[in-house]
Amino acid sequence: MSTAGQVIRCKAAVAWEAGKPLSIEEVEVAPPQKDEVRIKILFTALCHTDIYYWECKGYTPLFPRILGHEASGIVESVGEGVTDVKPGDHVLPIFTGECKECKHCLSEESNNMCDLLRINCDRGVMLADGKTRFSINGQPIYHFVGTSTFSQYTVVHIGQVAKINPTAPLDKVCPISCGICTGFGATVNVAKPKKGQTVAIFGLGAVGLAAAEGARICGASRIIAVDLNPRRFEEAKRFGITEFVNPKDYDKPVQEVIVEMTGGGVDRSVECTGSVQAMISAFECVHDGWGVCVLVGVPKKDDAFMTHPLNLLSERTLKGAFYGNYKPRTDIPMVVDKYLNKELGLDMDKFITHSVPFADINKAFDYMLQGIGLRCMIHLDA
């Protein structure tokens, strides 16, 4: 029987309060409204951004909430005005959007700063009517970044839905919807290291290692990793990392260590931690005259980046990269096709280190909090 136009009851992992284990609940998912799509989520993975807004340390609390934004699934039904996708299409929900109509979407110089659908971590309702599509016994359950993929069904604005090749394995391409493109694109699309140059990567999570893969593919001669977790180092060699620096091992700022290691600084650096101190170190470790630093990590609400103006006047370049400079609806289908055609040079299996059924979603939180593995794939139909 078709469920289009009907309320769907399904399982979802609900965060009722900050830092407490998620609870598997039966939720009601309302039909999609104008410009919305209801998606059956088959695979989702945990990202550090989910952790940050679950812990709410330095972020605005909003509960009860269904987190999750890195996922893949199949369109169940569409709302009024949706023509880009249809029931049965394979899709990736994306935490930021592309309306294709605003000044940013139409600009050749801006890739994913959509005026309508730019990421908003504090909004917990849908744009169409300011209401949620999730509820439990009449109580609204808030959305997260417009995706809320820790639910077997979710409702997403069409501008945040990338239709992909149906032959793509949904478990493998799931991380493309966030972590892989965020890191890989930051290197290849923004930092753009030249063959033979040196690159420093700050943070060895999935995003950082995707950035390292980008540096490897670009032909970097040295890829220096900076991380506080020594357990990451051996694993990172598989992603092209050639050297490792743990700031805890030195009694001086890590940027000074890297400058000494490289005879003046690296040619490119990519920061993937969200730590404002790591951001400063990443910028101050690039070579004067031509060095480029790209910031990727999400800082806390009240953080402030501080460096001496001479570091900029010495012709170092500081850039920010959001979602790897990819347009969600325009570029992501092509990224998936390039992955299928082995044109990216990425081995997605290296990023997926754990797998759990939906009922064990809290294990994924444990793995990430303990710094174990990279991506834990959560199977929502298991």
* Residues designated as active site: 47-49, 69-70, 99, 102, 105, 114, 118, 178, 375
Between CA 118 and CA 86 the distance in angstroms is 24
Give the list of residues 6+ apart from residue 291 with CB closer than 8 angstroms, or none.
265, 266, 267, 268, 269, 316, 317
Q: List, as one string, the DSSP characters of 321-360.
A: -SGGG--HHHHHHHHHHHHHTT-S---GGGTEEEEEEGGG
**Helix (H) and strand (E) counts in the chain:** 11, 17
Q: What's phi and psi for 43, nearest 5 deg?
A: -135, 140
Closest CA to 375 of 155, 177, 200, 242: 177
Closest CA to 114 of 337, 336, 330: 330
CB atoms within 10 A of CB 222: 17
How long a stretch of residues is the chain? Answer: 382
Vertex 85 angle, CA 66 and 24, to 5°: 20
Q: Tokens in use for 196? A: 């033979």
Helix runs in the chain, H state only:
48-55, 103-106, 170-173, 179-185, 206-218, 231-236, 254-262, 276-284, 309-313, 328-340, 361-369
Cα four-point dihedral sign 54, 58, 64, 68: negative
Q: Which three-class secondary structure state does DSSP give residue 174?
A: helix
Instruction: Please check whether residue 37 is in contact with residue 156, taking contact to mean a CB–CB distance below 8 angstroms.
Output: yes
CB atoms within 10 A of CB 337: 15
Q: Tokens in use for 198? A: 């040196």
Instruction: Please check whether residue 302 is in contact with residue 59, taking contact to mean a CB–CB distance below 8 angstroms.
Output: no
